[in-house]
Structure 1
Amino acid sequence: MSTFQTALSGLQAASTDLQVMGNNISNANTVGFKESNAQFADAYASAIAGTAPAAGQIGIGTTVQTVAQQFSQGNIQTTSNPLDVAINGTGFFQFNYNGATVYGRNGQFQLDQNGYIVDAAGGQLIGTPAVSGALTGGAGPLRVTATILAPQATSGLSIGLNLDAGATPIASGTAVNINDPTTYNYSTSTTVYDSLGSSHLLTSYYQLTSGATPTPTWNVYYSVNGTTAAGGTTSGSFGTLPFTATGSVSGTASGTIAGLNWADGASSSTIALNFAGSTNFSAPSAVTSVTNNGYGVGQLSNLSINPSGVVYGVYSNGQSSILGQITLTNFSAPQNLQRVGNNYYAATYQSGQPLTGQPSSTGLGTLQSSAVEQSNVNLSTQLVDLIVAQQAYQANAQTIKTQNQVVQTLLSL
């Protein structure tokens, strides 16, 4: 009768194998899913035998030793969602799911009505939050609340330009009149901002003085609109901009424009103006670069995530700000994590303690935004293995059928 038990154990093992493969196949399109395989061991009546029987041992079947999870890398597929994130390498995302801490590889994220970064099941993504554009160093759910970026008043402005060395000098002693283009050789305007985010035009005027030998010297004037000055424009002389015989700036190329009082009630401004890198070549006067440290109010227009997991808010004023950082968690024995559904895993004693850190750090993978990690299930392999498991099931069923015929033969004697 032991043959029945032996064949029955084979049927149970083959049935478990079929269930495991069926689960793999059903999740072939589940993002971040990791396949499993059933591992078997033979069974004997005595696990430890003092002396083997002379005729040898006959086993009593098989047993499912474990269902092992396979954490090989899945293919990475790009998407159009900037919040989709794929892990390239080891590690898991950490989530707060209904108050429980769980882990997963599914990086299909979105914002909920409260601004939290969540997955499709509503699990809140855990990482390092940021306050006022700086990471806090703590841990908690990542939340996007900075939908408006406060303005920053311009305090520094760098203008790189070429002033035409072949320009006709203005008669010595002629004062620059910003309303009379014949009193200067070139002018250019750039936008500056006050503390309320209002934009203003700062126009600079350049006058090549006559008799400036042996090296050319340019007088520099400025005007700024939107101020409390008469006519709403503050103007004045910035000083001179001397050049060497080779066309490079000679001496000091910087200064300040102070006492800008704004008509909209913003705080008064002082702007440091720098012309370093400007040239005086025989070519048309033109601006080559402008660097402005001020900006107006910005509305959140997009999100981006770099390979280190830093989440940036991209704003309509061209600025960006750090909103948080995604962290990754790994385990010393991830195969012993417990599946709890919804693409989540729970830590167990056998998996070891969670080890959390920044992506790209030791033992952790990198992140790719606008991408997801596909399931690592190989359908071709699974279908071939499915045929083998089916044959094993049929063979064990045939063993039971054969043993039953032997019993029937004995009963008919």
Structure 2
Amino acid sequence: MSFTIALSGLAAAQKDLDVTANNIANVNTTGFKESRAEFADVYATSIFASGRTKVGDGVTTSTVAQQFSQGALKFTNNSLDLAITGEGFFALTPDRQSQDLTYTRAGAFKLNKDNFIVDNNGNYLQGFAVDPVTGENQSVSLSTTQPIAIPTSAGAPRATTNIFLSANLDSRELATDAIAFDATDRATYNHSTSVTVYDSLGESHTVTTYFRKTTTVPPANAEWETWVVWDDVTGLPIQGDNLVFDSSGNFVPAAPPQTVTLPAAALNDPLNGYLTNGAQFATDVVVNFRDASGVREPTQYASTFDVTNLSQDGTTVGFLTGVDIDAFGRVLASYSNGDSAYLSQVAMVRFANVQGLKQVGNTSWKQSITSGEPIGGQANTGTFGAVNASSLEQSNVNLTTELVDLISAQRNFQANSRALEVNSTLQQTVLQIR
């Protein structure tokens, strides 16, 4: 009996050594979780045997339990390196159409030849679909996840539909409406300002707005005519609404608000010469005398002409300039034309019993009966951890502790070997009795 007990002790000590050696070997493995060998004693007896004199039957390995404690973060210069602080796993699939999910904490991701985010083994990082403007996810069901792609192609151009302009018009200026407006004659207007706009193909154009003060007889409010010229087509200026100011220099808005409208039909007409590249405007281009929020309006003070707001809502062709991933896992792409768009949200997964997950290698796990069903969710909400871009989670192995455990396992192995040796000596002694 003592022989088999000593053998079980040797097997347990060997298992402890194996687990410790594996932990030490993976001390620099990104996302690795250390394991701990857990043992239980073996005891068997019949109902008629005396429990007072029964000796145990040795030891057995109960389980090799992984410890999912947080590893330290290592910061990098790669924005696609991701680490989780808190609970959760990244979800991966072996191909773009598969729903065979594996789970990992190793976030050393990169782009493949098709611009999809993958790990070192080519597995695709999964994400939830989001609104490209707000970044709000549309679903957190794992059945709706899809591989995350980072398009490097140009951002589509967007034709200008609105120009927002507010300025201070100098009340000390003299009226210039005695003669006809001529964009080429500085004497026929008081102020002007220009903005770059874009057509449907992303080509830039210059829209110049002119202001000229009209003759006003007090106590009437002061008025300014507005004119707009497209590019250098000065022979076809478009007149807009007059801007009216009271004696305090405050804007007196009308209903509807004052604007200058460049009709899409006129812009698209090849006879006018506004567009020469085949572009077409689907809607009118409107110059609004206010800012985009409607708060800032023109003024007329005894001060120099000053543009206080000038913007437009079109964009030219843009190219990818950067990718940012926030703590919620939202992937934001920035383009050279000033546009930005949310592409996806990194899917987070948690389990009721993480120690029940089945190891499959490459620092990955799969669902098992004891782990429970995977639960998808959004990072940095509820019990899900936050996503940290440009960082990696290091192994949670404590090398000092492992070296101490290694010495302890070695002593246990030596002690059980000694017990086996003593048992062999006793049996040899019995065999030599004459």
TM-score range, shorter chain: 0.7 to 0.9
Alignment partner for residue 78 of structure 2, among 73, 76, 81? 81
Tell me the residue number matched to 2:267.
260
Residue 195 of structure 1 pairs with residue 163 of structure 2: no
Q: Report which stretch shifted further, 210-219 or 395-404.
A: 210-219
Question: Is the CA contact (8 Å cut-off) linking 2:176 and 2:187 kept in structure 1?
Answer: no
User: What is the CA–CA distance in structure 2 between the aligned matches of 1:399 and 1:294, rounded to whole Å?
Assistant: 84
Is residue 327–residue 356 contact of structure 1 (8 Å, CA) maintained in 2?
Answer: yes
| Residue in 2 that maps onto 1:273 | 287
The alpha carbon displacement at 1:153 in A equals 0.7
* 2: CA distance, partners of 1:50 / 1:304: 71
Contact 2:90 2:125 in 1 (8 A): yes
Aligned to 1:158: 164
Matched, 1:294 2:314: yes
- What residue identity is the alignment partner of 2:51? P
- Aligned pair partner of 1:65 in 50, 62, 73: 62
Q: C-alpha displacement at 1:145, in angstroms?
A: 4.3
In the alignment, what sits opposite 2:362? 342
SS of the aligned residue for 1:402 comes to helix
| Alpha-carbon distance between aligned partners in 1 of 2:394 and 2:313, rounded to the nearest angstrom | 43
Cα displacement string for residues 323-369 of structure 1 (whole angstroms, at most 9, x for unaligned residues): 22221122221211111111211111221222223323443222222
Aligned position for 2:29 = 30
- 1:14 is paired with a residue whose SS is helix
Residue 6 of structure 1 deviates from its aligned partner by 1.7
CA distance in 1 between counterparts of 2:101 and 2:320 reads 30
Q: Provide the residue aligned with 2:352 in structure 1.
A: 332
Which structure features the higher share of strand residues?
A: 1
Of 220, 224, 234, 1:218 maps to 224
Write the letter of the residue equivalent to 2:69.
S
Deviation at 1:112, TM superposition (A): 1.0
TM normalised by structure 2 equals 0.84
- C-alpha separation in 1, matches of 2:114 and 2:369: 34
**Which residues of structure 1 form unaligned runs of 5+?**
none
Q: In 2, Cα distance between the equivalents of 1:35 and 1:232? A: 75
- Relative distance call for 1:28 and 1:290 in structure 2 (3 A) is farther
| Alpha-carbon distance in structure 2 between the residues aligned to 1:52 and 1:237 | 111
Quote the residue 2:190 is aligned against. 185
* TM-fit CA distance, 1:20: 1.3
1:121 is matched with 121
Alignment partner of 1:207 is 2:220: no
Residue pair 2:326, 2:388 contacting (<8 A) in 1 also: yes
Residues 235-275 of structure 1, C-alpha deviations (whole Å, 9 max, x = no match): 22222222344443221354233232322221135122222
How many residue pairs get matched? 405
Contact 1:129–1:142 (Cα < 8 Å) also in 2: no
AA at the equivalent of 1:297: V
Shift of the 381–160 alpha-carbon distance from structure 1 to 2, 3 Å rule, reads farther
1:205–1:348 distance in 2 versus 1, CA, 3 Å? same
- Aligned pair in 2 of structure 1 residues 346, 267: CA closer, same or farther (>3 Å)? same
SS in 1 for 2:319: strand
Cα 1:8/1:157, change in 2 over 3 Å: same
2:272 is matched with none
Q: 1:315 to 1:42 in 2, by over 3 A?
A: same
Asked if 1:169 corresponds to 2:182, the answer is: no
Which residue number corresponds to residue 271 of structure 2?
none
Residues 203 and 60 from structure 1, CA distance in 2 versus in 1: closer, same or farther, beyond 3 angstroms?
same
Segments of 5+ residues of structure 2 without an aligned counterpart are: 269-274, 291-295
Residues in 1 aligned to 2:236 and 2:13: alpha-carbon distance in whole angstroms: 88
- Report how far residue 19 of structure 1 moved: 1.4
Any idea what SS the aligned residue of 2:128 has? strand
